[in-house]
Amino acid sequence: MSIMTQAELEELVNQLSLSFFNKPFVDDVAFNFRLRTTGGRYIPNQRKIELNPKYLDELDYDEFCGIIKHELCHYHLHIEGKGYNHRDKDFRELLRKTGSPRFCSPLPSMEKQVKYQYKCLDCGHVYHRVRIVNTQKYRCGKCRGKLKKIKP
């Protein structure tokens, strides 16, 4: 799908806001072409939602709508004065209630950049990294086990 216009984007966000939250979206939304590792972000002091257009191009429309719903959860909770951060109970409940994803899928173009793989010697979890990890300094984030490079 090609990039949509600003008016189409605003209409889509307002439509999703009305259908899932029963509240209008009255602030700013825009594409941010500089976002690299995230599908979108909500800026509380500007009351603005920025979305990564690569997710519309590389993944399906439903994934993009899920990202918008996730950012709308931040937005509406912030407006209401409730906890709008990822760790807050209000935020997690609203995500579940609206069927919004907690995290977005990685972009297919970013997955190709993986150069190094590390495996935990205790639990077997595999980590994919773009940069070299110092295995003497860093441990497994799940079980604190030692890491071993399996793919140079």
Please tell me the distance from the alpha carbon of residue 117 to that of residue 123, in angstroms, as a whole number.
15
Side chain identity, residue 75:
Y
Would residue 71 show up in a list of annotated catalytic residues for this protein? Answer: yes
Annotated active-site residue in 50, 58, 71, 111: 71
At 125 the three-state DSSP class reads coil
Candidates 23, 65, 76; CA nearest to 88 is 76
Place of tokens 């990294």: 129
**24-27 contacts, C-beta under 8 A, 24 or more apart:** 25/72, 25/75, 27/75
- Positions marked catalytic: 71
